[in-house]
Amino acid sequence: MTQPPLTLEAQDRRFAAWLLAPALLVLLLTTTAPLIYLGWNSLQQLNFSMPWLRGFAGLGNYVAMGSDPRFWNSLWLTLVYTSTTVCLQVVIGLSFALLVLRMPRGQGVIRVALILPIVLAPVVVGLFWRTLVLSPDFGLVDMVTRALGLGSHNWLGDPDLALISVIAIHTWQWTPFAFLVLLASLATLPPDVYEAARLDRASAWQRFRHITLPLVRPAIIMVVILRMMTALSAFAAIYAATGGGPGSATEILNLYAYRTSFVELNLGYGSALAMVLLSITLGVSWLMFRLRRSRS
């Protein structure tokens, strides 16, 4: 007897393969191949400003990183930046969501107001804050502080204030995302659980801690994951606002890699820095992925 035709499952698999292949191919070509090349370059000495210095460097770039204070500074800044903005986004977003949850009207107006920061380009937001909001003397913030008698400050030019300002910008742009997601999640919570808790004489704080928080936790985790990814690779807004400065005051790892590669033209070292950032990002996302799966 001749070979029986393909089973249904086998046909399904073949059809799926045909549908998936183009996209996978594109992904492999556009992302994986370049990343391998990035790794290869990180092992090279590649400096466009000193083209005579070429050759295999092995782990030399990585070793140099270890004793590079600017690198450790950027790691530290990345940590502070990411954790602060994500915490702020969740706390502010959740608080506002709780406050506004039961509002009968006006949710439409709020939605319109909040969708604007999300759809704006980060570079525009950065430039905008740099000029209209944080400019000494003429910016919104300075106008307010001057009116309040707190004087004028160089919000982006002062090394002590720059990081705060930059965190504020990122938080401003992305808190609406946290707010909208958490609001949607809160809206799906069943009201009868609260009725029961009320009957059990639970205070507002207890109701929040023991009912709301656990139920909304999956949404919070998801928001944290997403916002963390964005914060780790945040570039345009900081670049527009401070360029990484003053000095290295806002030079998160992202920006350090960029500056090294495209301002100082040391692409070998820049590649190594980017590899470190890549590992951190992949590590965090893998952790988060596992965290999500273990909870659901």
Residue 67 · residue 150 · CB < 8 Å: no
Minimum Å gap between C-beta 63 and other proteins is 20
- Residue window 260-279: x/- pattern of binding to other proteins, with contact defined by CB under 8 A: -xx----x--xx--xx-xx-
- Contacting range for other proteins; rule: CB under 8 A; set: 58-66, 79-87, 92-100, 157-165: 92-100
Exposed/middle/buried for 46, CB within 10 Å: 0-12, 13-18, 19+? buried
Give residues 123-152 in contact with other proteins (rule: CB under 8 A).
123-124, 127-129, 131-133, 135, 137-138, 140, 143
DSSP string, 5-69: PPPHHHHHHHHHHHHHHHHHHHHIIIIIHHHHHHHHHHTEEEBTTSTT-EEE-TTHHHHHHHT-H
Minimum Å gap between C-beta 67 and other proteins is 22
Q: How far is CA 244 from CA 52, 84, 99, 142, 285, in A?
A: 29, 18, 36, 22, 25
Minimum Å gap between C-beta 215 and other proteins is 13
Minimum Å gap between C-beta 159 and other proteins is 20
Distance CA 216, CA 151 (A): 42
Give residues 51-90 in contact with other proteins (rule: CB under 8 A).
none
The rounded Cα 170 to chain-centroid distance in angstroms is: 9
Cβ neighbours, 10 Å, residue 167? 19
Give residues 205-224 in contact with other proteins (rule: CB under 8 A).
218-219, 222-223
Q: Can you tell me which of 121, 150, 213, 263 binds other proteins, judged by CB under 8 A? A: 121
Task: Closer to other proteins by CB, 111 or 209: give it.
Answer: 111
- Contacting range for other proteins; rule: CB under 8 A; set: 157-165, 208-216, 241-249, 281-289: 281-289
Give residues 155-214 in contact with other proteins (rule: CB under 8 A).
172, 175-177, 179-181, 184-185, 191, 194
